[in-house]
Amino acid sequence: MRVPVAIIGGGPSGLLLAQILHLAGIESIVLERRSRDHVLGRIRAGVLESGTQQILRQAGIGTRMDAQGLVHDGFAISHSGTINRIDLRNLTERTVLVYGQTEVTKDLYHARDSSGGIVLHGVEDVALHDLTGDTPFVTFCHDGEAQRIECDFVIGCDGFHGPSRQSIPADHRREFEQVYPFGWLGILSETTPASDELIYAAHDDGFALCSLRSHKLSRYYIQCRTDERVEDWSDARFWDTLRMRLPASVADRMETGPSIEKSIAPLRSHVCETMRYGRLFLAGDAAHIVPPTGAKGLNLAAADIHYLSEGLIAWYGQNDPSGLRTYAERALARVWKVERFSWWMTSLLHRFPDRPVFEQRMQRAELDYLAGSVAAQMALAENYVGLPY
């Protein structure tokens, strides 16, 4: 089988690229290891920058997002019993949209189905070949049969654990990583959200976050140890810990109820330099991971796909290789800035087990500074709503 573009991974990155290429008349195939139900069962962050919204609209999947997404003009940061609002609209003249990644992925699958695009689920043993030649190919197993796809380009959208990044020889890539000494325990519950806007709470016992998916569906997180097990967290224990970390005014009026999902996620920052090897291009989590503080994962993936799709469309449409040649450089320039922001927000809001007392005081001083300085709030806000492309 031969297809112009072979995309490994059917998460948001791979599906979005397939959709944008389809609109430009470029055919692709998406190879996904898991079932569609599994992909749609993953719950991830739900804050879309305006640039991401624009990319999704241009890709023809903005209708449900615009109808159901909640426009947020600001969010709050609480610490030491105080709450400070970051007024995104006033500070930046922009807002963010709360619309879950699961919903974005659903919309992308819908679009693939409507246009007859191929997404092969349950593929095994994906391997990438001849990446530095003009006709790379991908081999894999599907329904018990060995398959081979020849293509012009291989796109690695297969997340942190996928085979694409590993296909770049070690002496052609450099990886940078920071693993944080804590995780996030998250729950979803059919309760009225504690607040209309997100609350990021720094507390001496650890971070907490109040988020939401709709007016009736709440998403909450608390910082936990990396060695903890979900089974040890009853709903009652979760609610008690969450309430304790929030300002009393929020905790006291909080509606609690049974969780409908509960999971622990580790926190990591990771960047792979480079994002291109011959005819292989990496995008999304395959190339970089950010900790969830600030909700940048999906937004960063969308930015990669924006640059990469421009490059591929120019290649096929005008025979112009410049966009593909500069892809890694353009994408990485943005990646590092967003990595910095996500790392900074994580450092600002979490309790680090072994942080020296001096640094603890620095953290408190920075929170105080942020609460009282429009300049500091502006720097936070312009990153939160999304840096320009």
Interaction site with ligand APR (CB under 6 A): 8-14, 31-34, 39, 44, 101, 123, 126, 157-159, 161-163, 284-285, 297-298, 301
Q: Would residue 106 show up in a list of annotated catalytic residues for this protein?
A: no
350 binds ligand PHB (CB under 6 A): no
Q: Are the beta carbons of 191 and 259 closer than 8 angstroms? A: no
In the structure encoding, which two tokens stand for residue 42, read together? 């993953």
**According to the binding rule CB under 6 A, does residue 45 interact with ligand PHB?**
yes
Cβ proximity to ligand APR, 239 vs 343, nearer residue? 343
Q: Does 219 bind ligand PHB (CB under 6 A)?
A: yes
The minimum distance between CB 45 and ligand PHB, in angstroms, equals 4
- Cα–Cα distance list, 380 to 52, 82, 91, 181, 387 (Å): 18, 18, 10, 24, 11
Closest CB to ligand PHB: residue number: 211
Axis-axis angle for helices 297-318, 12-23 (nearest 10): 30
Instruction: Choose among ligand APR, ligand PHB, none what residue 47 binds, the Cβ cut-off being 5 to 8 Å by kind.
Output: ligand PHB
Does position 297 interact with ligand PHB (CB under 6 A)? The reply is: no
Least distance from C-beta 247 to ligand APR, angstroms? 28
Residue window 3-42: x/- pattern of binding to ligand PHB, with contact defined by CB under 6 A: ----------------------------------------
- Strands 153-156 and 280-282 turn out to be parallel
**Residues counted in the chain:** 389
Q: Which of 22, 72, 203, 288 is catalytic?
A: 72
Neighbouring-strand partners of residue 261: 188
Residue nearer to ligand APR on the CB measure, 194 or 305: 305
54 contacts: CB under 8 Å, gap ≥ 6: none
Q: What is the DSSP string of 349-389?
A: HSPPTT--HHHHHHHHHHHHHHHH-HHHHHHHHHHHH----
Q: Is 270 a catalytic residue?
A: no
Chain residues 258-277 in contact with ligand PHB, contact rule CB under 6 A:
none
**Which residues neighbour 8 within 8 Å (Cβ) at sequence distance 6 or greater?**
14, 31, 126, 128, 138, 154, 155, 156, 157, 158, 162, 163, 164
Catalytic, 384? Answer yes
DSSP element (H, E) containing 114 = helix 101-114
Positions marked active-site: 72, 200, 292, 296, 384
- Per CB under 6 A, residues contacting ligand PHB are 45-47, 198, 211, 219, 292-295
